[in-house]
Amino acid sequence: MNAITAEKMVLALIGGVTFLIVALLFSILGVMLAKGLPAMHSGFLFDASRDFGRSGGIFYQLTGTLMLMAVAVLWSLPVALGSVLFQTEYLGAGKFKNLLTQLTYILNATPTILFGLVGYIFFGVYLDAGVSWVTGSLILAVMILPTLQVSIREAVEALPEKYRETGMALGLSRPTQIWRIILPQSFYGMVTGVLLGLARAAGETAAIMFTATTFSGIQFPQLFSDPVPTLQTHILVLAQEAANPESIAQAWGAGLVLLGLVFLLTLAAWAFRTRMVMESEL
Amino acid sequence: MKADFSGLGIRHVEPVGWVFAVMNFIFLLCAVGLGLFLVVESVPVLRSEGWGFWLGENWWVGETFGALPMICGSLIVTGLAIFLVLPVALSGALFTSEYLSSSIRRRVKGVMELLAGVPGIIYGLLGVSFLTAGVKDVLNLLDGNTLFTAGFLLAIMILPMVLTLSEDALHSVPSEFREASESLGLTKLQTALRVVLPQSLPGIVGAVLLGVGRAMGETIAVMLVIGSLDRVPGFNFFVSGQTIPSKLGREAAEALGSGLHWSALMGLGLTLFVMVAVLTFSGNLFIKRSSQ
């Protein structure tokens, strides 16, 4: 066997492996569709679940998930925006800035269940919010903080230096520069960050399963101290009733909805990111 | 009065700037508070168990708390995932970076990045429905909920992330290196294996470390397929086990907020946090070095 045949064989091997990877990942999507679509009877999205999740729809679970992630972004966005602007506009390069960047990375990689544990102690016990949707949204807010920060920072740092110089040459004060130049120009980055943050919050289960959610008993929270049903917890509980085919079927339906939600948000984020790159190249 | 922050590298700050400074302080509090709370809350269990917390084999609520089964489980499951994912991800990255045309490459990367965001609960559902039964039948076991099942599921889960990050590292090798190597008469594969791969090794190591970090911290998917049995597993990977996050996921709701049991869970959390922080820190260090 000469070197060229050997090379062709290796090439065929790694090419085949690559094909298998892509096929495996598409088959995951295929399975989700094949298993999830049969559960989608008319009104699956708009009916309340009945009989401990075995029949009915997922309306309140869906609203719970949407509510938690939206409120989390409301908490998180001002902090992310403020801290990034402080770090890029007010803080010179140095050890403190590097430390803050490292903290963002570490926060980003922290196992999500730890946000649940510590968040429960801080928000739930010390701030007395208990097991409630408020605690859950605060925990998710801390969890998605690095996601928002990274996107916003990328957008702010991608601004051409001449924009700032022009602002300075016009004698704009720094707050005016931020308000008139930096914020409008990095708007798409902010939107990308928000969408990616929403996607991350929507997919999270571990951090909220014992701090914010309930499986049954509550439909839509009436008080700040009420827990909330979510798609994630719904799937988690139903998935553990493997012996019961009705539960599993409902779990697949809810899973497909959740996956669709996450994909939609991610794709929308990418659309805005492309927009941002195009604008900065003008 | 003008405050002097020159030591921290802060420039002159207007009133609006103070708002940003407060936001930054909140971020700092979140990050530092996370670590601090884990330490403070695990003091009671460390005081009562001492080093035995990490060395003890028994976790009996109300009597003794030993974390060794969970630590071993975490290391085994993560090790298995890396062992399974590495050859596959590297082949895929090499092929995608060196052989695919740029439009197909971009599509493959897009699919990978989309899949990197699939929630853990979805993998958990797939694992419960297919993987546990598959492992049970293929390997002829009594129970499909094993350390191996969890490692396999994690391997699939971190595959897109490891692949796309190592592909970034391979692709960032300047094309002059490839041209020089091919002009010396090396074939494309030889170039890929002997020139591009060694050049991008730090980036690949970084990608793998970040993947390990993600695998080590995954809760839901692992919790559903590992069998949740606390014991030091030895070298048989085809038995039920427990990882740190799966233990936390199973027991956090019972212990909620008080007592030695909660403190023991926080101790487990602290252990996990330190392990993942070290992995992430070194992973980022490698990636940074490779991109310079």
| CB–CB contact A117 B216 (8 Å) | no
Q: Do residues A229 and A203 share a domain?
A: yes
**In chain A, positions 153-212, which contact chain B (CB-CB < 8 Å)?**
173-175, 178, 199-200, 202-206, 209-210
Q: What is the average per-residue pLDDT within A227-237?
A: 91
Residue A252 is predicted with a pLDDT of: 92
What residues of B are in contact with residue A91 (Cβ under 8 Å)? 8-11
**In chain A, positions 48-67, which contact chain B (CB-CB < 8 Å)?**
none
Q: Do residues A174 and A276 share a domain?
A: yes
Domains of chain B by start residue, with CATH: 6-53 (no CATH), 68-291 (1.10.3720.10)
Q: Do residues A109 and A144 share a domain?
A: yes
Q: Do residues A86 and A12 share a domain?
A: no
- Domains in chain A: how many in total? 2
The string of pLDDT tens digits covering residues A152-203 is: 998 898 888 888 888 889 988 888 888 888 998 888 888 999 999 999 999 9
Which residue in chain B is spatially nearest to A196 when comparing CA positions? B117
Residue B2 is predicted with a pLDDT of: 44
Comparing CB atoms, the residue among A14, A92, A252 nearest residue B91 is A14
| CB–CB contact B277 A113 (8 Å) | no
Q: What is the average per-residue pLDDT within A66-82?
A: 95
Comparing CB atoms, the residue among B14, B111, B163 nearest residue A175 is B14
Residue A199 is predicted with a pLDDT of: 94
- Strands, E assignment, chain A: 49-50, 55-56
The DSSP-derived string for A61-103 is HHHHHHHHHHHHHHHHHHHHHHHHHIIIIIBPSSHHHHHHHHH
Torsion of CA B212, B216, B217, B220, to 10 degrees: 120
Whole-angstrom distance, CA of residue B48 vs CA of residue A88? 46
What is chain B's pLDDT, residue by residue, as a tens digit (292 residues)? 344 455 555 666 778 888 999 999 999 999 999 999 999 999 999 998 888 888 888 888 878 898 899 999 999 999 999 999 999 999 999 999 999 998 999 989 888 888 888 999 999 999 998 998 888 888 888 888 899 999 999 999 999 999 999 999 999 999 899 999 989 988 888 888 888 999 899 889 988 988 998 899 999 999 999 988 888 777 788 888 899 999 999 888 888 867 889 999 999 999 999 999 888 888 888 887 776 6
Residue B90 is predicted with a pLDDT of: 93
Give the residue among B283, B168, B164, B165 at the shortest CA–CA distance from B216.
Answer: B283
Comparing CB atoms, the residue among B26, B99, B252 nearest residue A116 is B252
Q: For residue A88, what are the contacts with CB-CB under 8 A and spacing of at least 6?
A: A153, A156, A157
- Here the tokens at position B139 are 């390997």
- Asked if residue A265 has pLDDT above 60, the reply is yes
Residue B1 is predicted with a pLDDT of: 38
Whole-angstrom distance, CA of residue B275 vs CA of residue A195? 30
Q: Do residues A54 and A34 share a domain?
A: no
In Å, how far is A209's CA from the nearest CA of chain B?
8
Taking the alpha carbons of B228, B85, A273, A255 in that order, is the dihedral positive or negative? negative
CB atoms within 10 A of CB A231: 29
Which domain, by its residues, includes A23? 3-38
| CB–CB contact A112 B121 (8 Å) | no
| CB–CB contact B248 A203 (8 Å) | no
Residue with tokens 């972004």: A73
Q: For residue A123, what are the contacts with CB-CB under 8 A and spacing of at least 6?
A: A129, A134, A135, A138, A139
Q: Do residues A68 and A21 share a domain?
A: no
Q: Are B223 and B124 in contact (CB under 8 A)?
A: yes
Which residue in chain A is spatially nearest to B42 when comparing CA positions? A118
Which residue in chain A is spatially nearest to B276 when comparing CA positions? A110
Which residue in chain A is spatially nearest to B105 when comparing CA positions? A18
Name which of A11, A14, A20 to mutate to probe chain B: the one with the most chain B Cβ atoms within 10 A of its Cβ.
A14
Q: Are B252 and A238 in contact (CB under 8 A)?
A: no
Question: Please, which pLDDT band fits residue A276 given cuts at 50, 70 and 90?
Answer: low
Q: Do residues A141 and A67 share a domain?
A: yes
Residue B11 is predicted with a pLDDT of: 60
Residue A277 is predicted with a pLDDT of: 66
Question: Average pLDDT, whole number, for chain A?
Answer: 88
Q: Do residues A102 and A23 share a domain?
A: no
Between these two residues, B2 and A114, which has the higher pLDDT value? A114
Q: Do residues A107 and A120 share a domain?
A: yes
A271 touching B, CB under 8 A?
no
Name which of B113, B121, B165, B228 to mutate to probe chain A: the one with the most chain A Cβ atoms within 10 A of its Cβ.
B121
Task: Supply the CATH number for residue A118's domain.
Answer: 1.10.3720.10
Residue A54 is predicted with a pLDDT of: 76
Between these two residues, A200 and A219, which has the higher pLDDT value? A200
What residues of A are in contact with residue B16 (Cβ under 8 Å)? 175, 178
Name which of B5, B19, B30, B167 to mutate to probe chain A: the one with the most chain A Cβ atoms within 10 A of its Cβ.
B30
| CB–CB contact A200 B117 (8 Å) | yes
Q: Do residues A29 and A98 share a domain?
A: no
Residue A164 is predicted with a pLDDT of: 85
Q: Do residues A28 and A74 share a domain?
A: no
- ipTM for the complex shown: 0.90
The string of pLDDT tens digits covering residues A45-60 is: 888 887 777 777 888 8
| CB–CB contact B95 A17 (8 Å) | yes
- Asked if residue A281 has pLDDT above 80, the reply is no
Give the residue among B145, B255, B122, B131 at the shortest CA–CA distance from A236.
Answer: B122
Whole-angstrom distance, CA of residue B41 vs CA of residue B141? 40
| CB–CB contact A204 B245 (8 Å) | no
Q: Do residues A102 and A144 share a domain?
A: yes
pTM of the model: 0.90
- Asked if residue A71 has pLDDT above 90, the reply is yes
In Å, how far is B58's CA from the nearest CA of chain A?
22
